[in-house]
Amino acid sequence: MTYRITLLPGDGIGPEVTRVARAAIDRAAEISGFKVAFTEHAFGGASIDQYGEPLTEATLAACQSADAIFLGAVGGPKWDNASARPEAGLLALRKELGVYANLRPVSVHPALSDRSPLRPELIEGADLLIVRELTGGIYFGERERGPDWASDKCTYSQGEIERVARIAFETARLRRGKLTSVDKANVLTTSKLWRETVTAMGSREYPDISLDHMYVDAAAMHLIRAPRDFDVVLTENMFGDILSDEASMLPGSIGLLGSASLGDERPGLFEPIHGSAPDIAGQDKANPFGAIESAAQLLESGLGEAKAAQHLRDAVAQMHEAREWTADLGGALTCSQAGIKLLERLDQLPTDQVTPSVKAVAS
Ligand code: IPM
Ligand code: MN
């Protein structure tokens, strides 16, 4: 079995972390006994430079025909005055693929508890999953611009809310059975519909899930004050964007978080939640763990190869225990050195975790 994976390294540190993710997927596949074939395409600013647009027809087609897509990062000041923005390519890709649910897990490995700007006793044991609606809301509403005014429209349909809520409820069932839906229903009409829709679904289809609702401002505060209270957090596109950056400070670096963007069918899109970090681009300083976690999500939810995903996460956990980190976490490793360490640790995983065929070859 050979899976086809389209790589979109993108801009800034995107190519650096994508290189590590690619090697990690490759090695995890080898250990688990399946094959992957990669193709790489320019995307975002890199594609504007080469083709004048952030997402070409050919790149979109390469994404649509893949089994899964891995994306590094897009954007940077270089394209501030370009005819198109790199980010527009990312929004178009998410929309075209129909990946309406963006899953952003946040957990605090014990070794990381002194890396956070928050006190260890507050964050120890925090383990939550943000389910962010990804193809609707203000990101995709009509935009208008006059000489001295501007407008961005925010629209949600009941169907758009239900489909992402279903993913959140189902995921909560596999976790601790708790769902917090975050909105601004005291002000926004889209949020009122959001709350009504989620409440109705909860009592109709998910009575076993403990559902509560929180306003987004209160949720932002609660995330810092008592992060362990959260299990699954369901929210709309822009609130999810903001809350997930905030949540990355629980483990201490935005470089740690990965994400899976899923629709009703393959392919899913997998990307770290961090941006292109132009200030450190090309210096081999980026933290590749967010990309590696995204690679694990690609293997698990994108390809159904849960064991290979577990190998990656086991190797990352070992690196945390040994405090093998990049500079953002106070470590001494470069991005590429962290990638090499990961491969070494993958190779050294206990052989009972490795498939028999590989064990035979190794002995
Ligand atoms: C993210 C990013 C994107 C977003 C940008 C690059 C368009 O911040 O994936 O969180 O806002 O969705
Ligand atoms: Mn973001």
How does DSSP assign 125-141, residue by residue? T-EEEEEEE-SSGGGTS
CA atoms of 99 and 271, how far apart (whole Å): 12
pLDDT in tens, the chain (363 residues): 899 999 999 999 999 999 999 999 999 999 999 999 999 999 999 999 999 999 999 999 999 999 999 999 999 999 999 999 999 999 999 999 999 999 999 999 999 999 999 999 999 999 999 999 999 999 999 999 999 999 999 999 999 999 999 999 999 999 999 999 999 999 999 999 999 999 999 999 999 999 999 999 999 999 999 999 999 999 999 999 999 999 999 999 999 999 999 999 999 999 999 999 999 999 999 999 999 999 999 999 999 999 999 999 999 999 999 999 999 999 999 999 999 999 999 999 885 555 444 444 443
Q: 3-class DSSP state for residue 319? A: helix
Query: 33 C-alpha vs ligand 2 centroid, how far in Å?
Result: 35
pTM attached to this predicted model? 0.95
| Helix (H) and strand (E) counts in the chain | 13, 12
* Nearest 10 degrees: Cα torsion 250, 182, 188, 198: 160
Tell me the best of 17, 71, 85, 87 to mutate to test the pocket of ligand 1, counting ligand atoms within 8 Å of each CB and taking the most.
87
**Quick check: bond before 267 cis, omega within 30?**
yes
Ranges in the chain annotated CATH 3.40.50.2300: 127-249
**1-105+256-363, which class in CATH?**
alpha beta
> What is the maximum span of the chain, computed from C-alpha positions, in angstroms?
72
C-alpha distances in Å from residue 238, one per residue of 154, 182, 285: 10, 11, 29
The ligand 1 atom nearest the CA atom of 91: 7
What CATH code would you report for 127-249?
Answer: 3.40.50.2300
With contact defined as beta carbons under 8 Å apart, do 105 and 165 qualify? Answer: no
Beta strands 101-107 and 258-262, pairing class = antiparallel
Q: Please give the Cα distance from 118 to 136 (Å, whole number).
A: 33
Residues 6+ apart with CB under 8 A from 157: 136
Atom of ligand 1 nearest to the CA of 134: 12
Per the CB < 8 A criterion, the answer to whether 60 and 96 are in contact is yes
What local confidence, expressed as pLDDT, does residue 289 receive?
A: 98
Substitution candidate for ligand 1 out of 17, 90, 134 with most atoms within 8 A of CB: 90
Please name the residue ranges forming H helices in the chain.
Answer: 14-32, 45-51, 57-64, 86-97, 120-123, 158-174, 189-205, 216-225, 237-247, 289-297, 306-321, 335-347, 356-362
Handedness of CA 92, 93, 95, 96 (dihedral sign): positive
> 5: CA distance to ligand 1 center in Å?
22
Which amino acid is present at 77? P
The DSSP element (H or E) to which 157 belongs, if any, is none
Q: Could you give the CA distance from residue 55 to residue 47 in angstroms, rounded to a whole number?
A: 7
CATH code 3.40.718.10 region(s) in the chain: 1-105+256-363
Catalytic residues: 139, 184, 217, 241, 245
CA 63 / ligand 1 centre spacing (Å): 19
For ligand 1, atom 1, name the residue with the nearest CA.
Answer: 273
Contact (CB, 8 A) for 213 and 180? yes
123 lines ligand 1 (CB under 6 A): no
Task: Report the alpha-carbon distance of residue 28 to residue 299 in Å, rounded.
Answer: 9
pLDDT of residue 353: 53
Atom 7 of ligand 1, nearest CA residue: 87
218: left (phi over 0), alpha (psi -120 to 50) or beta: alpha
Tokens 């004048």 correspond to 52
Check pocket membership of 99 for ligand 1, CB cut-off 6 A. no
